[in-house]
Chains A and B, each alone.
Chain A
Amino acid sequence: MKLTSQAMEWIPGEKRLKHIYIAVMLWVVGRALQAAARVDREIGHIFERMPEDFSFCLAVWPNGPAMAIKRDKNGRARQFSPKQFDAAHGLHMQIKSLEVAFRMFTFRESTAVATCNDRIVVAGDVPSAMAMVRVLDAVEVYLLPKFLARLAVKRYPDWSMKRKLTGRLLIFLRGVIGW
Chain B
Amino acid sequence: MSDQWQAEYDFDCPVSIHAGNLALDHLPFELSMVGAGKPLILIDRQGDGALHRLEKQIIAAFQSSAMQPSLMTPGAAGPDRWANARQVVEQYARIGADALVVVGAGEIVDQAKLARGLLSVAGQVDRLSVNDLTQIQSRPDIALIWAAGPGVDGREASGWIGRPGDASVFCQALTPDLVIIDPRLLDAMHTREQLPGWLNALVWAIQAQAFGPGNPFSGMYAKTAVAGIWPHLSFAAGSRMTKKTCTSMVTAVICAGFGLSPTAQRPVSALGRAVSVIGRMAPGIADMILLPYVVAHDAVAVSDRLPDFLTAIIGADKAALAAPHRHGVEVLRQLYDLPEMLHAASGGRFPRTLQEAGLPRFLFDEVIELAMPASDRGRLSAETMLAALDAAWAGKPVIN
Contact surface of A with B, Cβ cutoff 8 Å: 1, 3-15, 18-19, 61-64, 96-100, 103, 117-119, 121
- Bound together, the chains give a CA A57 to CA B270 distance in angstroms of 53
Whether B26 pairs with A8 at a CB distance below 8 angstroms is no
- Given contacts A5-B74, A12-B69, A99-B22, A61 and B29 within 8 Å (CB-CB): yes
Contact of B65 among A97, A119, A121 (CB under 8 A): A97
- Bound together, the chains give a CA A10 to CA B40 distance in angstroms of 11
Whether A7 pairs with B70 at a CB distance below 8 angstroms is yes
Min CB gap A105→B, angstroms: 14
Contact surface of B with A, Cβ cutoff 8 Å: 18, 20-22, 25-26, 28-29, 32, 40, 43, 51, 55, 59-76, 87, 91-92, 94-95, 97
Please, which residue of chain B has its CB at the minimum distance from the CB of A63?
B66
Additional A-B contact list (7), CB under 8 Å, known A11-B68, A12-B67, A62-B29: A3-B72, A3-B73, A9-B68, A12-B69, A13-B63, A100-B25, A103-B22
- Bound together, the chains give a CA A5 to CA B43 distance in angstroms of 10
Please, which residue of chain A has its CB at the minimum distance from the CB of B30?
A96
Whether A5 pairs with B75 at a CB distance below 8 angstroms is yes
Q: Is the interface of A mostly helix, strand, loop or mixed?
A: loop
Min CB gap B133→A, angstroms: 23
Contact of B87 among A5, A15, A96, A100 (CB under 8 A): A5
Contact of A117 among B22, B55, B68, B95 (CB under 8 A): B22
Interface centre among A7, A63, A98, by most chain B C-beta atoms within 10 angstroms, is A7
Whether A8 pairs with B28 at a CB distance below 8 angstroms is no
- Given contacts A1-B55, A96-B25, A117-B22, A7 and B94 within 8 Å (CB-CB): yes
- Bound together, the chains give a CA A103 to CA B55 distance in angstroms of 22
Whether A15 pairs with B64 at a CB distance below 8 angstroms is yes
Q: Which residues from chain B contact A4 at a C-beta distance below 8 Å?
A: 72-73
Whether A117 pairs with B59 at a CB distance below 8 angstroms is no
- Bound together, the chains give a CA A135 to CA B397 distance in angstroms of 65
- Bound together, the chains give a CA A135 to CA B63 distance in angstroms of 31
Q: Is the interface of B mostly helix, strand, loop or mixed?
A: mixed
Please, which residue of chain A has its CB at the minimum distance from the CB of B97?
A7
Q: Which residues from chain B contact A119 at a C-beta distance below 8 Å?
A: 22, 26
Min CB gap B71→A, angstroms: 5
- Bound together, the chains give a CA A118 to CA B365 distance in angstroms of 50
Whether A96 pairs with B26 at a CB distance below 8 angstroms is yes
Min CB gap A117→B, angstroms: 6
- Bound together, the chains give a CA A103 to CA B91 distance in angstroms of 36
- Bound together, the chains give a CA A64 to CA B64 distance in angstroms of 8
- Given contacts A1-B71, A7-B91, A10-B71, A62 and B20 within 8 Å (CB-CB): no
Min CB gap B267→A, angstroms: 36
A-B contact pairs, 15 of them (CB 8 A): A1-B59, A6-B91, A9-B68, A10-B59, A13-B64, A15-B63, A61-B32, A62-B32, A62-B65, A97-B29, A97-B61, A99-B22, A99-B25, A117-B20, A119-B26
Please, which residue of chain A has its CB at the minimum distance from the CB of B75?
A5
- Bound together, the chains give a CA A119 to CA B182 distance in angstroms of 14
- Bound together, the chains give a CA A51 to CA B32 distance in angstroms of 31
Please, which residue of chain B has its CB at the minimum distance from the CB of A9?
B70
- Bound together, the chains give a CA A168 to CA B67 distance in angstroms of 41
Contact of A118 among B26, B65, B91 (CB under 8 A): B26
- Bound together, the chains give a CA A96 to CA B87 distance in angstroms of 33
Which A-B residue pairs are the 3 nearest by beta carbons?
Answer: A5-B76, A7-B91, A12-B62
- Bound together, the chains give a CA A14 to CA B67 distance in angstroms of 11
- Given contacts A15-B64, A96-B26, A10 and B72 within 8 Å (CB-CB): no
Q: Which residues from chain B contact A100 at a C-beta distance below 8 Å?
A: 22, 25-26
Contact of B63 among A5, A14, A63, A103 (CB under 8 A): A14
Q: Which residues from chain B contact A64 at a C-beta distance below 8 Å?
A: 64
Min CB gap A138→B, angstroms: 26
- Bound together, the chains give a CA A8 to CA B69 distance in angstroms of 8
- Bound together, the chains give a CA A137 to CA B97 distance in angstroms of 42
Min CB gap A33→B, angstroms: 25
Whether B64 pairs with A14 at a CB distance below 8 angstroms is yes
Q: Which residues from chain A contact B63 at a C-beta distance below 8 Å?
A: 12-15, 98
Q: Which residues from chain A contact B67 at a C-beta distance below 8 Å?
A: 12
Whether B70 pairs with A8 at a CB distance below 8 angstroms is yes
Please, which residue of chain B has its CB at the minimum distance from the CB of A62?
B66
- Bound together, the chains give a CA A151 to CA B112 distance in angstroms of 41
Interface centre among A18, A19, A61, by most chain B C-beta atoms within 10 angstroms, is A61
Min CB gap A89→B, angstroms: 22
- Given contacts A97-B25, A103-B22, A3 and B71 within 8 Å (CB-CB): yes
